Amino acid sequence: MKPKKKNLLVIDLLAIIAFVATFTPLIIPTSTNEPELFGLPYTMWTSFLLSVFFVVLTYCVSLLQKKDQHAD
């Protein structure tokens, strides 16, 4: 397997795992908002960190998919 394809597969698997974890009690616990971080409840700051993780994954994919040919 080519290194580029292998890296894309790893990124895809990380994205799928993060997506599934979003809807588990790990991110959305039942009837609790503790602990707080900077006054934000647990669900809010873990969701923010998960969003940042998705942005980083998207950036990694864009680096791997960069083409040498440009439109101009």
In this prediction, residue 63 carries a pLDDT of 84
Say if 71 falls within a structural domain: no
In this prediction, residue 13 carries a pLDDT of 93
d(CA 43, CA 60): 26
pLDDT of 3-43, one tens digit each?
778 888 898 999 999 999 888 887 777 777 677 777 888 77
Say if 45 falls within a structural domain: yes
Say if 28 falls within a structural domain: yes
- Model confidence, pTM: 0.74
Q: Any idea which residue has 């790893």 for tokens?
A: 10
Q: How many CB atoms are located within 10 Å of the residue 41 CB?
A: 14
Q: Any idea which residue has 């994954």 for tokens?
A: 57
How does DSSP classify residue 65?
Answer: T
Say if 70 falls within a structural domain: no
The encoded tokens of residue 25 equal 């009690």
Helix 42-64 and helix 3-22, axial crossing angle in degrees, nearest 10 = 160
In this prediction, residue 30 carries a pLDDT of 74
Structural domain of residue 43, as residue ranges? 3-64
Say if 69 falls within a structural domain: no
Say if 60 falls within a structural domain: yes
Say if 18 falls within a structural domain: yes
Domain count, the chain: 1
Say if 25 falls within a structural domain: yes
